Amino acid sequence: MIEEERMKMIMDHYENPRNFGPLENPTVTLRGGNPNCGDTLNIYIRTGDGDVIEDISFDGEGCTISQAATSLLTEFAKGKTVEQVGKLDSDYLKELLGKDIMITRPKCSRLALETLKSWVREFEKGKTA
């Protein structure tokens, strides 16, 4: 992706976030934050049969990068299985956001991903318990 296109996409997701706002009747509400820069995040997830994420949304406050990355991740996660979301890594974000952003703003870039992956680990533990 050309850098100019990438920045337009990031700004679009920041200014017009997808899946923004509390979800009605979520299965789980996740909270994440980055106290050093003031990013706060709530992710609402409703799962269905077969571990599918039927719906996902978020709200919170933060910088352009943290909010855009969360919007992008909710777009990816909707309709996916918990296992598919669990396989996401920083390489996926690097592809979306660009290497420079991942290097200069790593905590902002990864806040939503780390919050989701923490939930996936707990979800998987609960399945095996």
What whole-number distance in Å separates Cα of residue 113 and Cα of residue 40? 13
pLDDT digit string, tens, across residues 13-57: 999 999 999 999 999 999 999 888 899 999 999 998 779 999 999
- Residue 77 structural domain: 3-128
pLDDT at 37: 84
pLDDT at 100: 92
Checking if the pLDDT of 1 tops 70, the result is no
pLDDT digit string, tens, across residues 49-62: 779 999 999 999 99
How much is the pTM? 0.92
Beta carbons within 8 Å of 20's beta carbon, 6+ residues apart: 57, 58, 59, 71
What whole-number distance in Å separates Cα of residue 55 and Cα of residue 79? 7
Question: Which pLDDT band, with edges at 50, 70 and 90, does 129 fall under?
Answer: very low
Burial of 9 (0-12, 13-18, 19+ CB in 10 A): middle
The domain tally of the chain equals 1
- We report the CATH number of the domain holding residue 67 as 3.90.1010.10
